[in-house]
Structure formats: structure tokens, C-alpha cells
A = this chain, B = another copy of it.
Amino acid sequence: MKKSVGAKTILYPTPVLIVGTYDDAGKANGMAAAWGGICCSRPPCIYVSLRKATYSYGNIVARKAFTVSVPSQEHIAEADYFGMASGRNVDKFAETGLTPVRIELVDAPYVAEFPLVLECKLLHTLEIGLHTEFVGEVLDVKADERVLDDEGAPDIARIQPLIFAPGNRAYFGVGEFLGDAFSIGRRIGEPK
């Protein structure tokens, strides 16, 4: 018997994504979003959901582009700060000492010090309620060489991304390898 805890946004895990945009004056901004993820395989798409009140909202509407940089554990304080301060009042890159770099294919900056970045062209805008969902087509994924595995794929264990737990209002790390996907379930039955 399960206990009701109410109509809340509690789901595990959620990510910590730094959304990179330029404002009207060309100032780079970064904003932490936990409401984000992959939403289509072909074309490859991710989304971030933002409140209209955020500075990044207007930037995405105007530039029709954004990046998502994935921070490592070592930058937990900077990532958290990106979720508290507003680009309307402060230059968050200057405050954190992190480096905004214009990405190659879209009109948006990324965080140079973070190991993984996705560059996105705005594809859909879905008004839901307090949050607006921006779906971006992933035009490229770029990663630091040091986080690539032997097959050239970005390795979660080397990236050490943050996990945000909405119910706990806390960050956690990634734990141990548990098993291969599309494999460990074969003990129950072959795909039919």
C-alpha cells in the first residue's frame, strides 16, 4: 500500500544542465535547469523547461538557439550558483570565473570548463503552465577528450555529472556500474 505525497514534481534522477544563451547585447548567460532531458532520437532532440520570468527565456525566444553544458562534480558550487542568480542582474560567468565560448553551429555560448556540451537549434516551443518547454534539435555534441572512452563515446564515469533530487533538494553523484542495458534483462526472457 502506497502513501500519497501529493501532486508534486518528484522524479529520480533529474539532471543539472547549464543552459547557455546570449542576450540582446551579446552578453553570455548560463542558467541551471533540472527540468530537461532527451525527448527524441531522430532528429536528436533535448528540451529544457524555463519560467517566462527567467532571463534565459527571452534569450532563447530571440536567438532560437541554446547550448546545454553538463557540469562535473568539481563545479557543484558554480552549477548551483547558475541556478540562483539571474543574468538580468549579474554576469554569472564573471562571478564564477568560468569561461563562455561561442559554440560552432548555433548562436549561443557554452561553459568551456564543463566536459560535455550539446548545441541546439530551437525546434518547438510548448507552453505548459508556469514553465515553457523549449525543444532543441541537437546539431552536435562536443566533449573533452579526457572524458571519452575507448570507443570515443562520452563516459558517464569520467564526466561525473551531478544528479539533482527534487524531493531532497540536494545533489548526488553517480554511483557504481550496475549492468549493461538491453542485456541484463535477458535473464527474464528473450525479446519477443
Which of A's residues lie within 8 Å of B, judged by CB? 2-15, 17, 34-47, 49, 51, 68, 70, 73, 76-86, 89-90, 95-96, 116-118, 123-124, 126, 128-131, 133, 135, 137-145, 148-149, 152-157, 159, 161-189, 191-192
22 examples of A-B residue contacts, CB within 8 angstroms:
A2-B142, A3-B142, A7-B44, A7-B138, A12-B156, A13-B156, A13-B174, A40-B129, A40-B130, A43-B129, A80-B183, A89-B192, A90-B192, A123-B128, A133-B135, A156-B163, A156-B170, A172-B174, A172-B176, A173-B174, A173-B176, A173-B178
B181 contacts A171, C-beta separation under 8 Å: yes
Instruction: Give Cα A89 to B38, complex, Å.
Output: 27
Copies of the chain in the assembly: 2
A49 contacts B44, C-beta separation under 8 Å: no
Instruction: Give Cα A112 to B63, complex, Å.
Output: 46
Q: In the complex where A13-B13, A70-B12, A164-B181 touch, is A3 in contact with B80 (Cβ < 8 A)?
A: no
Our pick among B126, B131, B163, B179 for the contact of A76 (Cβ within 8 Å) is B179
**Chain B residues near A5 (CB-CB < 8 A):** 140-143, 148, 152-154
Q: In the complex where A5-B153, A154-B10, A173-B176 touch, is A40 in contact with B133 (Cβ < 8 A)?
A: yes
Other contacts beyond A10-B153, A173-B174: 14, CB < 8 A:
A5-B141, A5-B154, A37-B37, A40-B131, A42-B130, A80-B179, A80-B184, A83-B182, A84-B182, A89-B192, A90-B189, A90-B192, A95-B188, A156-B170
Q: In the complex where A47-B39, A80-B185, A185-B82 touch, is A156 in contact with B168 (Cβ < 8 A)?
A: yes
A153 contacts B141, C-beta separation under 8 Å: no
